[in-house]
């Protein structure tokens, strides 16, 4: 068939069938698409379901285990993009995932931030003697508390999207130089959106384990720098890095690393997502549809990069009445 998509060069590591209460969740991590694949997958992801069953990547393969003592009804989702340009990118992402597996369920945003900031500092000490520059990884995480709104914790340029039938809306701010310029008042709203969401600029101003260049752009500082309404411009202050996040009944959410939109037309590609996902019956089929469209693009459209994504589908109001309560409802 002349219009059939090309063969998938890397089907990726798929995770589905875990139990997240009323939420339907599916995930995949892969080298990328087309003939210019990366040598290894330096991304990672973590899913811990409401029964304490965990799934993640180690040496690029899916691992699973049951976490002893996990709080029933609590869950955790995270995507990570190891920074290979700094060396040990895959190992850095794996180390953060190992820390997240050991991290107990967090009941409040303050507890989550305190524990993750401590993990960041511990891993900096762990990698202090590694050859070359300090490695790093993005971390975009949802802590799914039973009967309460999920907690978002975000570092780097991976993203969380809210996908409605009309549009795909980012719920996170990329930690990139353009954001530092916007915070300093030298880049306006339109130019920021164009540079961050309309162009391919693979640079970060902050990463987990690596540190931040927000506090002082002339040097890399060890601590993480939280972006909040206190330092973000007014048109971004609703997208703080660390905040509760109520999920809409019937909503679709996507956590993903930047390989999913690292292409020659990011706005045009992301703008297709609502149509691509429309009418699909479950999270796994929706994610398959999205990645099939990713594969169908010409090889020159996407830049070589790893891709990891977790798709969360929230049941509609009618179905919610018959199921476990939606977090934050």
pLDDT tens-digit profile of 112-147? 999 999 999 999 999 988 777 889 999 999 999 998
Q: Which two tokens stand for residue 214?
A: 């927000």
Q: What percentage of the chain reaches a pLDDT higher than 70?
A: 91
Residues comprising the chain, all counted: 329
Cα(38)–Cα(31) distance, integer angstroms: 6
* CA nearest neighbour of 290 among 325, 267, 265, 256: 256
In a domain, 89, yes or no: yes
Cα distances from 240 to residues 58, 78, 84, 163, 310, in angstroms, run: 30, 17, 27, 19, 21
Q: 326 in a domain, yes or no?
A: no
pLDDT at residue 158, rounded to an integer: 98
How far apart CA 187 and CA 178 sit, in angstroms, is 7
Closest Cα partner for 307 from 57, 3, 17, 54? 57
C-alpha 136/C-alpha 146 separation (Å) is 31
pLDDT digits (tens, 9 = 90+) for 54-63: 999 999 999 9
pLDDT at 260: 97
CA angle at 65 for the pair 61 and 68, rounded to the nearest 5°: 155
Q: What's the mean pLDDT when you consider all of the chain?
A: 92
- 266 vs 302: CA distance, rounded Å: 9
d(CA 189, CA 203): 19
- Residue 202: predicted pLDDT: 87
pLDDT band at 161 (very low <50, low <70, confident <90, very high): very high
- Asked if residue 304 is part of any domain, the answer here is yes
pLDDT band at 252 (very low <50, low <70, confident <90, very high): very high
β strands within the chain, DSSP E? 13-15, 24-30, 43-48, 53-58, 61-66, 75-81, 139-144, 151-155, 159-163, 168-170, 206-207, 211-212, 242-244, 252-256, 307-313
Residues paired with residue 152 on neighbouring β-strands, in sequence order: 142, 243
Torsional sign, CA 16, 20, 21, 22: negative
Residue 37 falls within a domain, yes or no?
yes
CATH number, domain at 165?
A: 3.60.40.10
pLDDT tops 70 at residue 326: no
pLDDT band at 33 (very low <50, low <70, confident <90, very high): confident
Q: What are the pLDDT digits (tens) for 266-320?
A: 999 999 999 999 999 999 999 999 999 999 998 889 998 999 999 999 998 765 4
Residue 210, both tokens: 């690596």
> What pLDDT score does 322 carry?
45
Q: Which domain holds residue 165?
A: 13-320
Q: Are 187 and 216 in contact (CB under 8 A)?
A: no
Q: Output the furthest CA–CA distance in the chain (Å, rounded).
A: 56
**192 is a domain residue:** yes
Question: Residue 224 and residue 139: Cα distance in Å, rounded?
Answer: 12
SS3 content of the chain, % helix, strand, coil (to 5): 25, 25, 50
Least confident of 58-67, 178-187, 317-326: 317-326
- pLDDT at residue number 131: 77
Is 241 part of any domain? Answer: yes
Residue 327 lies in a domain: no
Write down the pLDDT at residue 66: 98
Rounded Cα–Cα distance for residues 75 and 150 (Å): 9
Specify the pTM: 0.93
In-domain check, residue 1: no
Instruction: Using the predicted structure, report yes or no on whether residue 207 has a pLDDT greater than 50.
Output: yes
Residue 274 to residue 166: CA distance in whole angstroms: 6
Number of domains in the chain: 1
Mean pLDDT of 151-173: 98
Nearest CA to 116 out of 138, 85, 87, 146 is that of 138
Instruction: List the helix and strand counts (H, then E) for the chain.
Output: 8, 15
According to DSSP, the residues that pair with 46 across neighbouring strands are 56, 78
Task: Give burial (CB, 10 Å; 0-12/13-18/19+) of 200.
Answer: middle
Give pLDDT, residue 133.
82
């Amino acid at each position: 068939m002349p219009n059939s998509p090309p063969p998938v060069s890397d089907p990726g590591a798929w995770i589905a069938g875990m139990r997240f209460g009323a939420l339907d969740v599916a995930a995949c991590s892969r080298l990328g698409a087309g003939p210019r694949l990366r040598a290894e997958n330096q991304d990672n992801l973590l899913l811990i379901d409401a029964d304490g069953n965990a799934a993640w990547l180690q040496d690029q393969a899916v691992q699973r285990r049951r976490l002893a003592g996990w709080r029933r009804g609590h869950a955790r989702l995270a995507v990570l993009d190891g920074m290979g340009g700094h060396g040990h990118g895959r190992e850095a992402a794996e180390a953060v995932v190992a820390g997240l597996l050991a991290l107990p369920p967090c009941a409040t945003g303050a507890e989550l931030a305190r524990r993750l900031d401590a993990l960041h500092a511990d891993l900096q000490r762990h990698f202090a003697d590694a050859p070359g520059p300090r490695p790093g990884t993005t971390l975009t995480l949802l802590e799914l508390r039973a009967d309460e709104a999920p907690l978002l914790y975000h570092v780097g340029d991976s993203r969380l999207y809210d996908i409605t039938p009309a549009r795909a809306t980012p719920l996170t701010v990329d930690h990139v130089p353009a954001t530092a310029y916007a915070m300093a008042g030298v880049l306006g709203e339109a130019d920021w959106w164009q540079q961050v969401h309309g162009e391919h600029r693979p640079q970060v101003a902050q990463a987990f384990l690596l540190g931040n260049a927000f506090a002082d752009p002339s040097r890399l500082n060890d601590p993480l720098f939280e972006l909040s309404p206190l330092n973000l411009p007014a048109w971004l202050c609703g997208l703080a890095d660390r905040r509760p996040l109520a999920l809409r009944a019937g909503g679709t959410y996507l956590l993903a690393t930047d390989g999913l939109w690292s292409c020659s037309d990011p706005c045009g590609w992301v703008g297709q997502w609502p149509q691509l996902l429309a009418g699909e019956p479950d999270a796994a089929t929706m994610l398959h549809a999205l990645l099939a469209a990713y594969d169908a693009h010409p090889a020159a459209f996407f830049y070589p990069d790893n891709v990891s994504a977790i798709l969360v589908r929230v049941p509609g109001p009618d179905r919610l009445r018959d199921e476990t309560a939606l977090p934050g409802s």
